[in-house]
Amino acid sequence: MFDFRQTGPQTWDIAFEADGGVLVLSEGGAKLAIDSAPQSTPLEGEYPAMYRHFVELVRRGQSDVDLAPLRLVADAFLCAHYRQTDPFED
């Protein structure tokens, strides 16, 4: 079950295991390690670069759409079971 109401510091970790070793994203993606060795990451982060990309698309009057993720979500909704949870509160 996914519950996106986490407050405070992000705590999720994702580990990718491959033939060449293990890559771990931790602290909500703030830290990166390969085979337990910390890796330097860009200070800027993903969102400023993404916003620059959006600005360029708007200037050129273009779009950049990949429908595959939407198809996956639609398929998940077709076979998922729904369970209501507590409402978000501010």
What percent of the chain lies above the pLDDT cut of 70?
90
pLDDT of residue 4: 66
Q: Distance between CA atoms of 10 and 90, rounded to whole angstroms?
A: 18
Instruction: List the Cα angle 71/25/21 in 5-degree steps.
Output: 100
Tell me if 45 sits within 8 A of 51, measured CB to CB.
no
The three-state secondary structure class of 46 is helix
Band of the pLDDT at 12, cuts 50, 70, 90? confident
Tell me if 26 sits within 8 A of 36, measured CB to CB.
no
Is the pTM higher than 0.85? The answer reads no
Tell me if 88 sits within 8 A of 6, measured CB to CB.
no
